[in-house]
A and B are shown apart, each in its own frame.
Chain A
Amino acid sequence: MSGICAGTPITAPQGYRRLRAGTTYYFLRSSPSARVVTLVEFAPRRTKEIVSKEGTTKNLRPLPFPVLIRLQRIDFEEAVLSAEILPGKHEVLPPWLSGLEGLDLEEVDAERVNPARRHRDRIDDKIGSFYGLLSDIESILDSDNTEQIINRHARSQQPTQNESRVRLWLFTYLAFGRNRYALHYPTHKIGRWDRLNTPSKAKRGAPSADGKGYGFNTTGDMHDRILKSYSALAGIG
């Protein structure tokens, strides 16, 4: 079937049955017994606004929601042959971790000084939460209630795991070549919010010797003027 296997990204440029145009699905399994093809979509979720106890608001960007999609095997194969469905190139990391590609994540993790927990151990915990299902994963994916089985497993863990998170971790692990780094925390997004265009009453940055509230936050205009004056005035010091 033109090189389609677990993890192949699938697109339907014109849309096809339940597959929307412009969305990437990942192939999980084609069942010979149930004669269905199982795909997974990692549906993005809306940014949530979280209000803390102190009254400050923070935008939380949740991880995607895993949605299983089943197609009749015969329909899927015909659609592939008629190019209504196009297989893509395998990806190493999920789209929400694309910024981590090419990094030696093990080395990055080891460089951290006195971390409370290493990312490596977090990944191990995630894999541990669904590891018991892997030996039987084919029949679970072929089953009519795949999600229920995974949810039940998540609840049976000690301590109990969040069901949709375990589903996300399991499907991500399967869809990206059982690559443990597909479960990495999106560290590349930490602290990358737009400070220039986010107004804030609180004084940012390290506290000044003249008090922590002394001074102004940098605005876009100030930022440009600093750059301009630096290049105008800088000399060999």
Chain B
Amino acid sequence: MGQARAMTANRLKEILRRQRVPEFGAGYEPAIKATREEAPAGSRPATVWSQLLARDVHTLSVPERKVLALLLYCPSLFELQEQRMLPFLPAPHPLHGHPRAKNESLRDLRGTLAVAEERGCLSFHPSVNVDGEEVPACWIGDFLGFFTDRLGPYCVNFNVKSTREEFAVPQVGISVRTDKARAAVKEGFRHLVERELYADIEIRTVEVAADELPPMLTANLLQQLQWQKREHLLSDEQVQIVLDGFNLGLVRRATPLNVMVSIEQTHGIPRYKQRILFEQGVFARKIRIDLFDSHIFTEKPMLPERTDALEAYANWFRRGP
């Protein structure tokens, strides 16, 4: 989402330190962290733990969290970089240096300055005053997802807004004194530059309006994300017993509590641990339960999956262009 905090020289320096060569895995540092000091005023910062990335993902709004939940649900995602700087100078391909992309021929990013100049919108490019001198600053993207298919790894860029209209008329950082027409033109150019920057190296940009996502699906996925960090410490055999129990219960339309109570009685596996396995199992697609129609409550019968969320949103995750 947008930047509501003014860029300063120190801030830019810190962003460049974190993002000049972004790390992969647990060492990645987002340009804006979901902390009181860094998150824009009026945002809803929160960190979301991801087992896959083994780190907290920093999100700055509820729409971002909804999109994040769906991204992490996709099994072909192997890396994610949130609040990623759009480099203003030429920079290596986002996959550069990743072990999975060792044999790929990767092209470099041109940098937003070059793209903006070509498009004649250099005046809208962010800049910052350093010792009385105007130097270019950076825009910050929302999510860059790293996926893999049979052809190898690829990236998809995600630009998240709460509504479709916000792509044309910005809502963040707008006051009564803002020139709305100019803000809209500026926003339009910002998205154009972002799209072109990535399109140059065959990375698609998906513009997501979070209010178009099914609310039940995102609510269910976010609920399961909350259980990602908990550990069940069960043996592989016990894990299999519990997962089989839930899958059998799913066929019989039992409630999760029914399954948990009976496994607790027969195998002595505590209910809390089974609950962890249940929530994590649904998210890992080991228990294929319906995510679209209703909240997954432990006292309500489980319904088998009718629509696969990944098929419904296959367009998000496909390789570009």
Complex contact B261–A180 (CB within 8 A): no
Q: Mark A87-123, 1 if CB is under 8 A from B, else 0.
A: 0000000000000000000110011011000101000
A124 within 8 A of B: yes
Q: Which of B26-47 contact A (CB under 8 A)?
A: 44-47
Complex contact B45–A113 (CB within 8 A): yes
B297 within 8 A of A: yes
A117, closest chain B residue (CB): B226
Q: Mark B295-320, 1 if CB is under 8 A from A, else 0.
A: 10111000000000000000000000
Pick from B223, B275, B298 the residue with the most CB of A within 10 Å. Answer: B298
Residues of B within 8 A of A107 (CB): 219
Complex alpha-carbon distance, A127 and B275, angstroms: 13
B270 within 8 A of A: yes
Residues of A within 8 A of B295 (CB): 106
B125 within 8 A of A: no
CB distance from B160 to the nearest CB of A (A): 17
B62 within 8 A of A: yes
Residues of A within 8 A of B298 (CB): 124, 127-128
Residues of B within 8 A of A132 (CB): 261
B206 within 8 A of A: no
Complex contact A180–B297 (CB within 8 A): yes
Complex contact A113–B271 (CB within 8 A): no
Q: Which of B219-261 contact A (CB under 8 A)?
A: 219, 222-223, 226, 257, 260-261
Residues of B within 8 A of A114 (CB): 46-47
Complex alpha-carbon distance, A111 and B264, angstroms: 33
B299, closest chain A residue (CB): A127
Given contacts A128-B271, A131-B257, A132-B261, contact A110 B299 (CB under 8 A): no
Residues of A within 8 A of B62 (CB): 111
Complex contact A113–B46 (CB within 8 A): yes
Complex contact A131–B299 (CB within 8 A): yes
Residues of B within 8 A of A120 (CB): 223
Complex alpha-carbon distance, A128 and B298, angstroms: 8
Complex alpha-carbon distance, A131 and B219, angstroms: 24
Complex alpha-carbon distance, A180 and B297, angstroms: 9
Complex alpha-carbon distance, A180 and B271, angstroms: 19
Complex alpha-carbon distance, A57 and B111, angstroms: 62
A158 within 8 A of B: yes
How many A-B contacts at CB < 8 Å in the complex?
Answer: 36
Given contacts A106-B219, A180-B297, contact A127 B257 (CB under 8 A): yes
Residues of B within 8 A of A118 (CB): 223, 226
Residues of B within 8 A of A131 (CB): 257, 261, 299
Q: Which of B173-204 contact A (CB under 8 A)?
A: none
Task: Select A180's contact among B45, B222, B264, B299, beta carbons within 8 Å.
Answer: B299
B215, closest chain A residue (CB): A107
Residues of B within 8 A of A110 (CB): 219, 222-223
Complex alpha-carbon distance, A182 and B52, angstroms: 36
CB distance from A161 to the nearest CB of B (A): 12
Residues of B within 8 A of A106 (CB): 219, 295
Given contacts A111-B62, A114-B46, A131-B257, contact A124 B297 (CB under 8 A): yes
Complex alpha-carbon distance, A127 and B46, angstroms: 29
Residues of A within 8 A of B270 (CB): 158
Residues of B within 8 A of A113 (CB): 44-46
CB distance from A177 to the nearest CB of B (A): 13
Complex alpha-carbon distance, A206 and B290, angstroms: 46
Complex alpha-carbon distance, A158 and B226, angstroms: 23
Residues of A within 8 A of B260 (CB): 128
Complex alpha-carbon distance, A124 and B299, angstroms: 8
CB distance from B226 to the nearest CB of A (A): 6
CB distance from A236 to the nearest CB of B (A): 11
Q: Mark B258-301, 1 if CB is under 8 A from A, else 0.
A: 00110010000011000100000000000000000001011100
Residues of A within 8 A of B219 (CB): 106-107, 110
Complex alpha-carbon distance, A106 and B218, angstroms: 12
B295, closest chain A residue (CB): A106
Task: Select A128's contact among B44, B222, B226, B257, beta carbons within 8 Å.
Answer: B257
Residues of A within 8 A of B223 (CB): 110, 118, 120
Residues of A within 8 A of B261 (CB): 131-132
B298, closest chain A residue (CB): A124
13 sample A-B contacts, Cβ–Cβ < 8 Å, listed by A number: A106-B295, A110-B223, A111-B44, A113-B46, A114-B46, A118-B226, A120-B223, A124-B275, A128-B260, A128-B298, A158-B271, A180-B297, A180-B299
A128-B257, A132-B261 are known contacts; what are 10 more A-B pairs with Cβ within 8 Å? Answer: A110-B222, A110-B223, A113-B44, A113-B46, A120-B223, A124-B275, A128-B260, A131-B257, A131-B299, A158-B271
Q: Which 5 A-B pairs have the closest CB atoms?
A: A113-B46, A131-B257, A124-B298, A127-B299, A114-B46
> What is the interface of chain B, defined by CB distance below 8 A to chain A?
44-47, 62, 219, 222-223, 226, 257, 260-261, 264, 270-271, 275, 295, 297-299
